[in-house]
Amino acid sequence: MHQRWHDLLFAHWPVPEAALARHLPPGLRLDTFEGRAWLGVVPFRMTGVRLAGLPPLPGAGAFPELNLRTYVRRGDVRGVWFFSLDAGSRVAVEVARRWFGLPYYRASMRCAADGDGIRYESRRMDRRGAPAELRASYAPTGPVSPAPPGSLEDFLTNRMTLFAPRPRGGLLAGRVEHAPWPLQPARAELAANTLAAALGLPLRDAPASLLFSRRLDVRIGAPRGC
Instruction: Provide, rounded to the nearest whole percent, the portion of the chain with pLDDT above 70.
Output: 96
How far apart are alpha carbons 222 and 208 in whole angstroms? 33
The distance between the two most distant Cα atoms of the chain, rounded to a whole number of Å, is 47
Residue-wise pLDDT for 83-130, tens only, equals 999 999 998 899 889 888 899 999 999 999 999 999 999 999 999 999
pLDDT at residue 80, as a whole number = 98
pLDDT at residue 59, as a whole number = 60
pLDDT at residue 151, as a whole number = 98
Residue-wise pLDDT for 130-168, tens only, equals 999 999 999 999 999 999 999 999 999 999 999 999 877
pLDDT at residue 55, as a whole number = 67
Contact 133, 203 (CB under 8 A): no
Q: Any idea what DSSP says for residue 199?
A: G
CA neighbours within 13 Å on the CB side: how many for 31?
20
Residue 7's φ and ψ, nearest 5 degrees, are 50, 55
Cα torsion for 196, 197, 200, 201, to the nearest 10°? Answer: 50
CA dihedral for 79, 7, 116, 202, sign (positive or negative):
negative
Per-residue pLDDT for 222 more than 90?
no
Could you tell me how many residues make up the chain?
226
204: Cβ contacts below 8 Å, ≥ 6 apart:
none
pLDDT at residue 92, as a whole number = 87
Per-residue pLDDT for 72 more than 80?
yes
Per-residue pLDDT for 51 more than 80?
no
Q: Considering its fold, how many domains does the chain have in total?
A: 1
Q: Which domain holds residue 161?
A: 2-225
Per-residue pLDDT for 62 more than 80?
yes
Q: What is the pTM of this model?
A: 0.94
Question: 3-state SS of 92-156?
Answer: HHHHHHHHHCCCEEEEEEEEEEECCEEEEEEEECCCCCCCCEEEEEEEECCCCECCCCCCHHHHH
Question: What CATH code is carried by the domain that includes residue 25?
Answer: 2.40.400.10
Contact 186, 153 (CB under 8 A): no
**Which has more pLDDT, 57 or 143?**
143
pLDDT at residue 13, as a whole number = 97
pLDDT at residue 60, as a whole number = 62
pLDDT at residue 169, as a whole number = 83
